[in-house]
Amino acid sequence: MGDSAVRSATAVELSGLYAALAREDPSFDAGLPAVVLVGTPADALVRKRLQHFGFSVHTQDGQAPGAYVLGGSLHGTCLTGSDFVDVLERARLRDFAADVVDQPRFTTLHKPGSDSRGVVQFHLDGREVVAKIGEAEAIAGEVGFAREVNDLLAREGRRALFPVVHGLRVEGGQAVSLMEAGEPMPIALLFADDGRTTLADDALGRLEAHLDQVSAWYRLTVADRRPTVADYLYRERYHALPVEPAFVSTFRALFGNAELDDVLDARVLLPGGVDLPSYRESVRGLDDIVPGLLPDHGSAVHGDIYAANMLLRADGSAVLIDPRTVWEGRDRPDVGYGDPVFDFSTLLHGVFPMAAILRAVETDTTGDLFGDPVRPAADVLDLSSLRLPVEFPDAVEKLKAVMLQGLPRPDGHARTRLLIGAATSLLGWLKYERSLRTPEAWLATFGYVAWYLDQARKSWDDNGRQEL
């Protein structure tokens, strides 16, 4: 156990810790595994690592120095020594493995998503297992959803679409799902360039397994009723998101004293003389046309299909992770049921243009997204020096055609919804300061929101009206 000494905390010490935490932290959940640091230095990285493994981390005074453990297999112990984090991690892996087999070995940490606190991969008896840690209701709901989908596909002789679930641990308000691991989709191989602006010639072939599997799932679950979330995703969300606290705070963090209203009311200029209506003008147009293009059918859906959520098994079969069934906390009676067009919208926006924008963020080159400095301004938002394409490359056009052909019940308005849904997905990124990080990344994303909305309007003008 390295240089860490382990002793049993006294009843007085434990009762003192619980009383202090309950008194000083109203959100303290006694059911969660916790580490209470007393006179033990721990920087932000140590705290973040412990949180990845599902520990809540607290500091207290007035006791003997050490890391006191509340909950889990080391409950009631006090660790001292520089390697206490390693000891705690090994104990958590043993806790996780109790639902599978013994003797786990840590493999790697994955970046948690918006619905998780930590994602830990470890090796067990010749296989890789992932522990996803998050809010109990959300994790339990995801496990139930995955099992239901996998069982349905198994009855039809198909491989599981979601990772096979090995177990579920509930720890107070927190839960841990144990599931099979997959290999990430090789995102770089989907593109012909390092900047991820152009799909590679074989990109469709690399996406084929996932597109085939989800299309089969849609066909098995299609039903003749309108998804209750449809109006929110294709219309109402455009009104709701710009007033969300996270959206507003991200804008202020990136642009200081600039006015968000000025941006939303400004015409948008893109390269090649493209002059687009303002965001608010486009949204008023959605209010007019969306009631006429909402689908009267739907199916089970994933809700967030893009490359980071697309995995592969060793045999090349498709796996999806992190389904999204609720947006901005909107409860509804048919959770998990939606418009498959929107699923494909999330994939579309991910390959064009979000992969390029996120690559610029990843490589700290967002300043190169524009040829000239750009700042929000009243009346006209000049993004004409944007260095990304503002028309669909041929490979993306082919991908759109394949996705539309994969719908269980194609209809005349599917293409327009595909474009509106891509803009909706892009709009959602604008509330994530940690994802976009810079004004240039925010403005590039916003510019494509305006561009996709204009593409949707043109699609409606060309095809929609005559099909009413």
**Same-domain status, 288 and 383:** yes
| Rounded Cα distance, 245 and 150, in Å | 37
For the whole model, what pTM was predicted? 0.87
Domain count, the chain: 3
Q: pLDDT tens digits for the chain (468 residues)?
A: 456 688 999 999 998 999 888 888 887 888 889 999 998 777 888 899 999 999 999 988 878 899 999 988 899 999 988 889 999 999 999 888 876 656 789 999 998 877 799 999 999 888 899 999 999 999 999 999 999 999 999 999 999 999 999 999 999 899 999 999 999 888 999 999 999 999 999 999 999 999 999 999 999 999 999 999 999 999 999 999 999 999 999 999 999 999 999 999 999 999 999 999 999 999 999 999 999 999 999 999 999 999 889 999 988 889 999 998 888 877 788 989 999 999 999 999 999 999 999 999 999 999 999 999 998 878 999 999 999 999 999 999 999 999 999 999 989 999 999 999 999 999 999 999 999 999 999 999 999 999 999 999 999 998 755 443
Q: Give the domain CATH number at 122.
A: 3.30.200.20
The tokens of 217 are what?
Answer: 């799932």
Q: Note the pLDDT of residue 466.
A: 46
Return the axis-axis angle of helices 394-405 and 203-221, rounded to nearest 10°.
20
Domain boundary residue, one of 48, 72, 93: 93
Cβ atoms of 222 and 296 within 8 Å: the answer is no
For residue 352, the one-letter residue type is F
Of 150, 180, 210, the position where a domain reaches its end is 180
CA distance 414 to 410: 7
Q: What is the pLDDT of residues 15-41, one digit of tens each?
A: 899 988 888 888 788 888 999 999 877
Domain assignment of residue 241, given as a range: 183-467
Clarify whether residues 144 and 253 are in a common domain: no
3-state secondary structure (DSSP) of residue 4: coil
Nearby residues of 210 by Cβ (< 8 Å), 6 or more positions away: 305, 310, 318, 320
Side-chain half-sphere CA neighbours of 79 within 13 A: 24
Is there a single domain that holds both residue 324 and residue 442?
yes
Report the pLDDT value the prediction gives residue 53, as an integer from 0 to 100.
Answer: 95
Residue 347, Cβ neighbours under 10 Å: how many?
A: 26
d(CA 159, CA 113): 25
Same domain, 239 and 384: yes
Cβ-proximal residues to 56 (8 Å cutoff; 6+ apart), any chain: 28, 29, 32, 33, 34, 35
Q: What is the full DSSP assignment across 166-210? A: EEEEEETTEEEEEEE--EEP-GGGGBSSTT--SB-TTHHHHHHHH
Residues 115 and 77 both lie in one domain: no
- Residue 1 has a pLDDT of 44
Helix (H), strand (E) at residue 296: none
Residue 361: which H helix or E strand, with range? Answer: helix 355-362
User: Are 393 and 281 members of one domain?
Assistant: yes
HSE (side-chain half, CA atoms, 13 Å) at 230: 23
Same-domain check for residues 369 and 415: yes
> In angstroms, what CA-CA distances link 204 with 199, 301, 394, 417, 422?
9, 21, 12, 21, 19
Q: Indicate which CATH number applies to the domain containing 393.
A: 3.90.1200.10
Query: Does one domain contain both 228 and 119?
Result: no
DSSP code for 386: B
Same-domain check for residues 142 and 190:
no
> How many residues make up the chain in this entry?
468
267 shares its domain with 412 = yes
User: b vs e for 437-457, b when ≥16 Cβ sit within 10 Å of the residue's Cβ?
Assistant: bbbbbbbbbbbbbbbbbbbbb
In this structure, the answer to whether residues 309 and 379 fall within a common structural domain is yes
Distances (CA, A) of 222 to 141, 230, 247, 296, 319: 21, 15, 34, 11, 21
- Residue after which a domain boundary falls, among 93, 122, 148: 93
- Structure confidence at residue 264 (pLDDT): 97
Q: Are residues 246 and 312 in the same domain?
A: yes
Q: Cα(349)–Cα(214) distance, rounded to whole angstroms?
A: 18
User: Of the candidates 202, 176, 177, 208, which has an alpha carbon nearest to the alpha carbon of residue 189?
Assistant: 202
